[in-house]
Amino acid sequence: MPDTLNKIYHPDKISLREVGLRDGLQMVAQFPSTDARKRWISEEYAAGIRHFEVGSFLPKVGYPAFADVEILVDYAGDINNLHSVALCPNLRGAKNALKSKVAELTCVVSASEAHNLANLNRYQKQTLDEIAMVCGLRDKTHHRPLISVGIAMSFGCSISGNVEPGEVVDIAAKCFESGVDMVWLADTVGYAGPKQVEHLIDRVRGSLGDQPIGIHLHDTRGLGLANASAALNAGVRALDASLGGLGGCPFVPNATGNIVMEDLAFLCQKEGFETGIDIEALVAVRRILETEMPAEILYGGYAKAGSPRIIP
Amino acid sequence: MPDTLNKIYHPDKISLREVGLRDGLQMVAQFPSTDARKRWISEEYAAGIRHFEVGSFLPKVGYPAFADVEILVDYAGDINNLHSVALCPNLRGAKNALKSKVAELTCVVSASEAHNLANLNRYQKQTLDEIAMVCGLRDKTHHRPLISVGIAMSFGCSISGNVEPGEVVDIAAKCFESGVDMVWLADTVGYAGPKQVEHLIDRVRGSLGDQPIGIHLHDTRGLGLANASAALNAGVRALDASLGGLGGCPFVPNATGNIVMEDLAFLCQKEGFETGIDIEALVAVRRILETEMPAEILYGGYAKAGSPRIIP
């Protein structure tokens, strides 16, 4: 389905995917009501964002923040040109997601065996086999949603340390062979640096050609936007971020979260990309988070400083 | 004095200049005691930092945070291989600084006439004439300290908007002609983006050759470390930063401050530079700021997350 994919993640246009509704809520004590999350989606859509990871297909009892994922999928699906995504951490979740109207299922595998075991309780090979099964099941559906895979710990692992780029390339290759449409390189714990980002993207491109790649960065050690800039320089146009930098990782307690959507949008503008995003309007959506999740720290410079007088 | 300069700011080695004791204190309600600032200097020196802007030569009555600048200059001057810097916003301050043992006087001029008038109450030409006078006075001293100039608003001005790179090049050229040793390009209000940083550095180098350049970045809109990464890519090796990202600017109220020293040191390590900096030790120095300035927000990801398991 390259035509569909090129429309959704155009290889020459910036696609910023809001992951705060999923990655941003997985560790919080208090999460926005379903209604507030609908407003979050619609207001951020009005500010120009078109890609939303709206939740995760997980058991409703253990994961109340995502119990209404189908409701949000339906809500998002009714908005014109809004591309909805949901995380499917396992086969059961993927089966449920395939029954929904979600436009993209995101599966997960780790670049390190140790983290795959800790995070998913499976060996990498088992996870990759499950991803292949999900692709097979998807092929039997009528609506044929996209399948993407996030490769966690692509730039280093907080359990086992270094990750060789070749391992990431091998995993990405296996995903594409199984029918995955797009792979997201994830710096889950904030180990990446700019040159490393460029190097890994070059390696993946060198081995796999123009297969669609996105990048998922955390600002754990302050280099998130420097790494995003490097990814842009390396030709990646699909980037994850979250409003206010929401997000946490159970493998790095107390750390800062995803890269900040508002500042990322400013970066893209400064670098000369047409984004269609109104950053002031984006900043205004933070109000929902401040009201619904008062205990959460919201990050970001743009929100504090406001617009520059003239964007050169 | 190129030999002296090359020793202090080696063109191939990273020099990170701590500006928190000056830029970081100019807008705070509460500032550390002289004794606490001595500990700040000595502990950050022990963590590997060698360049410190210790204060500003300003009237003692109006600017109590800098009333003890001579004491800190003397203290810093007694530490082996520590390079002390002080801001001299006007001729009177420079004259006092030349009587002290400070190793580098930093003067200021703005890339925009409007900001020069608002900040220094002088036209750019008057300021440049004063800087030339300071160089002349310096040449008559026995100890001949370095003279550097920070060009404020080099990447855009919060009063007058766009700044043309050619204007910055002209100002830098005039400074070097007057005997200035080094010019610092300053993104005073956080308008810069990575490509713009590379472009301006290339322009200055293209016009002025290998004249020593440093870069002074704020994280006002979240792009500080992306811009630092771009400056490194463009060959700049001297960068300002402050512990915990302390710093404010009267022209951008409520904004975040300078780029965070701890995260910048991590960036330099990730990019493969030998820095001699122990980031954990650097993070530990934040304790002094937390104790002495409890009202100030300290920024930075590394301090929250801690060291990565292995630095790849």
Tens of pLDDT, residues B32-86: 999 999 999 999 999 999 999 999 999 998 899 999 999 999 999 999 999 999 9
Burial class of residue B256 in the structure, from the number of CB atoms within 10 Å of its CB (0-12 exposed, 13-18 middle, 19+ buried) = buried
Interface contact flag, B226 A222, Cβ < 8 Å = no
Task: Flag whether pLDDT at B275 surpasses 70.
Answer: yes
- Inspect the interface and report whether the beta carbons of A223 and B263 lie closer than 8 Å: yes
- CA trace torsion B265, B271, B275, B280 (10° rounding): 40
Q: Considering only alpha carbons, which residue of chain B is nearest residue A156?
A: B312
Model-wide pTM > 0.90 = yes
* Facing A158 at nearest CB: one of B195, B260, B309: B309
Contact criterion met (CB < 8 Å) for B255 and A305: yes
User: Which one of B112, B168, B223 would you mutate to disrupt binding with A, by most A Cβ within 10 Å of its Cβ?
Assistant: B223
Question: Is A309 in Cβ contact with B190 (below 8 Å)?
Answer: no
Average pLDDT over residues A174-200: 98
Angle made by CA atoms A99, A100, A102, in degrees to the nearest 5: 130
Best probe of the B interface among A223, A258, A268, A279, by most B CBs < 10 A, is A223
Pick the CATH number of A2-11+21-29+54-237+246-258 from 3.40.50.880, 3.20.20.70, 3.10.450.710, 3.40.50.2000: 3.20.20.70
Nearest 10 degrees: Cα torsion A201, B190, B235, B177 = 160
> What's the gap in Å between the CA of B289 and the closest CA on chain A?
19
Q: Do A161 and B310 touch (CB under 8 A)?
A: yes
Report CA B7 to chain centroid distance, whole Å.
18
Chain B residues closer than 8 Å to A272 by CB: 195
Contact, B83 vs B7, CB < 8 A?
no
* Average pLDDT value for residue range A292-312: 88
CB contact set of B154 (below 8 Å; sequence gap of 6+): B111, B163, B168, B185, B186, B187, B188, B192, B200
pLDDT for res B252: 78
Helix (H, G, I), strand (E, B) or coil at A90: coil
- Residue A225 and residue B225: Cβ atoms within 8 Å? yes
Token pair of B35, please? 């004794």
- Which whole number is the average pLDDT over B92-96? 97
Measured between CA atoms, how close is A50 to chain B, in angstroms? 22
Task: Encode pLDDT of B210-259 as tens digits.
Answer: 999 999 999 999 999 999 999 999 999 999 999 999 997 777 777 889 99
Is pLDDT at A51 greater than 90 in this prediction?
yes
Minimum mean pLDDT range among B47-56, B61-70, B102-111, B139-148: B61-70
The answer to whether the CB atoms of B305 and A254 lie below 8 A apart is yes
pLDDT grade, residue A249 (50/70/90)? confident
- Given this model, what pLDDT does residue B311 score? 55
- B6 contact partners, CB below 8 Å, separation of at least 6: none
Angstroms from A264 CA to nearest CA on chain B: 8
Q: Closest to B222 (Cβ–Cβ): which among A158, A163, A302?
A: A302
Quote the minimal CA–CA distance from A8 to chain B in Å.
27
Report the residue of chain B nearest A159, measured CA to CA: B309
State whether B229 and A230 contact (CB < 8 Å): yes
How far is residue B265's CA from residue A28's CA, in Å, rounded to a whole number? 30
Q: Give me the residue label for tokens 């993070």.
A: B283
What is the structure's pLDDT at B173?
98
* Chain A residues with CB-CB distance to B255 below 8 A: 301, 304-305
Annotated catalytic residue within B157, B175, B249, B268: B249
Angle CA(B138)–CA(B235)–CA(B143) in degrees, nearest 5? 15
For B284, which DSSP code? H
**Do A263 and B189 make contact, defined as CB atoms within 8 angstroms?**
no
Q: Do residues A196 and B312 touch, judged by C-beta distance below 8 A?
A: yes
Residue B219 half-sphere exposure toward CB, CA atoms < 13 A: 35
Structure tokens at A257: 């979260």
> Where is pLDDT greater, at A77 or A27?
A77
Q: What is the pLDDT of residue B131?
A: 98
pLDDT given for residue B37 in this prediction: 98
Residues of B in contact with A265 (CB under 8 A): none
Q: Find the catalytic residue in A88, A107, A175, A249.
A: A249
Encoded amino acid at B33, one letter: S
Indicate yes or no: CB of A301 within 8 angstroms of CB of B155. no
Nearest to B253 by CA among B168, B169, B120, B158: B158
Q: How confident is the model at residue A1 (pLDDT cuts 50, 70, 90)?
A: low
Domain boundaries, chain B: 2-305
Q: Which residues contact A251 (CB under 8 A, 6 or more apart)?
A: A115, A118, A119, A158, A159, A188, A189
Q: 10 Å Cβ neighbour count for B113?
A: 15
> Which residues in B lie closer than 8 A to residue A248 (C-beta atoms)?
none
Could you tell me which chain B residue has the CA closest to the CA of A304?
B255
What confidence score (pLDDT) does residue A312 get?
Answer: 47
**Residues of chain A contacting residue B310, judged by C-beta atoms under 8 Å apart:** 156, 161-162
∠ CA A257-A174-A167, nearest 5°, is 60
Q: What pLDDT is recorded for position B312?
A: 47
Count CB pairs under 8 A between chains A and B. 163
Q: What is the reported pLDDT for A311?
A: 55
Say whether B249 is catalytic: yes
Residue numbers in A near B262 (CB within 8 A): 222
* Cβ contact, residue pair A254, B304, below 8 Å: yes
Q: How far is B139 from chain A (nearest CA, A)?
A: 39
Which of these, B228, B220, B222, B137, lies nearest to B185 by C-alpha position? B228
Does residue B72 contact residue B44 with C-beta atoms inside 8 Å? no
Residues of A in contact with B199 (CB under 8 A): none
How many residues belong to chain B?
312
- Interface contact A221-B256, CB threshold 8 A: no
Identify whether the C-beta of residue B130 lies closer than 8 Å to the C-beta of residue B177: no
> Distance of CA A110 to CAs A125, A174, A195, Å?
10, 13, 21
Token pair of A211 as six digits? 């297969």
Chain B environment of A252 (Cβ under 8 Å): 305
**What percent of chain B clears pLDDT 70, i.e. is strictly above it?**
98
| pLDDT tens per residue, range B169-221 | 999 999 999 999 999 999 999 999 999 999 999 999 999 999 999 999 999 99
Closest by CA position to B302, among listed B273, B257, B263: B263
CATH class, domain B2-305, is: alpha beta
* pLDDT band, residue A159 (cuts 50/70/90): very high
B158 contacts in A (CB within 8 Å)? 308-309
**Distance between B113 CA and the closest CA of chain A, angstroms:** 16
What is the rounded average pLDDT for all residues in chain A? 95
d(CA B183, CA B173): 9
- Residue A3 pLDDT > 90: no
Q: What is the reported pLDDT for B1?
A: 56
The sign of the torsion formed by the CA atoms of B231, B232, B237, B239 equals positive
As a whole number of angstroms, the distance between CA A245 and CA A230 comes to 19
B221 with A301: Cβ contact below 8 A: yes
What residue in A sits closest to B300 (Cα-Cα)? A222
